[in-house]
Amino acid sequence: MTSSLDTRPSSLSYWAVIPAAGIGRRMGSEIPKQYLELRGRAIILHTLDRLLAHPSVNGVVVALSRHDGWWEHLEPHYDKPVTRVEGGIERCHSVLNALHELALHADDADWVLVHDAARPCLSHSDLDKLIQTLADDEVGGLLGVPVRDTMKRAEANDRVVDTVERENLWHALTPQMFRLGPLRHALEQAIEAEQLVTDEASAMEHAGYQPRLVEGSAGNIKITRAEDLVLADFYLQQQESN
């Protein structure tokens, strides 16, 4: 279902973007991982639920592959706009396409929260914390979790060549939240420089900014392998029981 972004209440200024044009090769499934079933529904629907249930989020732009044959069968119904745009070859292209769509209706100063389609366990409290912490931040930032394990660097043959000091290292999560204008420009600059950044914070770093890390929950997992579905089911059950 595609709704018009023009329904945006003028007093609100938070938007979400979901890049979902990938095929998820590591899952080894016949369909893109965002359409795999989790608790009786497609993963991407759980993700949409989490974002659109938050009162600060006005609507979502979903970037899908040109050849996506699954979205049209979901028929998601929300009382906030969900708009589809064509994704690109890499994540950065998909996000930029979504931002170009948003720029037609939103202000450059509006906040954009970019969230992975395959992170269906985002909690309301983590989303609250991210929005509240960054509301007055000059740059923006992202959810993350400090690294607690010993980190190893390996060569191509999987032999350890170094133990990496874990102090000040974080696992980057999503959503990643930045102003529409600066993020759009940062992605354009990175792509022009042939820097195919793998997340939005990297684009902002490339543009000279220092995004802020906001500690979130380790339960905000990204589903990349079959066993992650079981873990995601567990986290969703835990959230429902609290």
Q: Residue 188: is its pLDDT beyond 60?
A: yes
For residue 241, what pLDDT is reported?
A: 79
Q: Residue 9: is its pLDDT beyond 50?
A: no
- 62 part of a folded domain: yes
Query: What is the extent of the structural domain holding 172?
Result: 14-241
For residue 88, what pLDDT is reported?
A: 95
Over residues 113-140, mean pLDDT: 97
What pTM was computed for the model?
A: 0.92
- 166 part of a folded domain: yes
- 6 part of a folded domain: no
- 171 part of a folded domain: yes
Number of domains in the chain: 1
- 7 part of a folded domain: no
For residue 112, what pLDDT is reported?
A: 98
For residue 10, what pLDDT is reported?
A: 45
CATH number for 27: 3.90.550.10
- 185 part of a folded domain: yes
Q: Residue 162: is its pLDDT beyond 70?
A: yes
- 3 part of a folded domain: no
**Segment 39-93, tens digit of pLDDT:** 999 999 999 999 999 999 999 999 999 999 999 999 778 999 999 999 999 999 9
Average pLDDT, the chain: 92
Secondary structure, 3-state, the chain: CCCCHHHCCCCCCEEEEEEECCCCHHHCCCCCHHHCEECCEEHHHHHHHHHHCCCCCCCEEEEECCCCCCHHHCCCCCCCCEEEEECCCCHHHHHHHHHHHHHCCCCCCCEEEECCCCCCCCCHHHHHHHHHHHCCCCCEEEEEEECCCCEEEECCCCCEEEEECCCCCEEEEEEEEEEHHHHHHHHHHHHHCCCCCCCHHHHHHHCCCCCEEEECCCCCCCCCCHHHHHHHHHHHHHHHHC
Q: Residue 155: is its pLDDT beyond 50?
A: yes
Read off the amino acid at residue 14.
Answer: Y
- 2 part of a folded domain: no
Tell me the CA distances in angstroms from 125 to 9, 221, 231, 238, one per residue in order.
24, 15, 19, 14
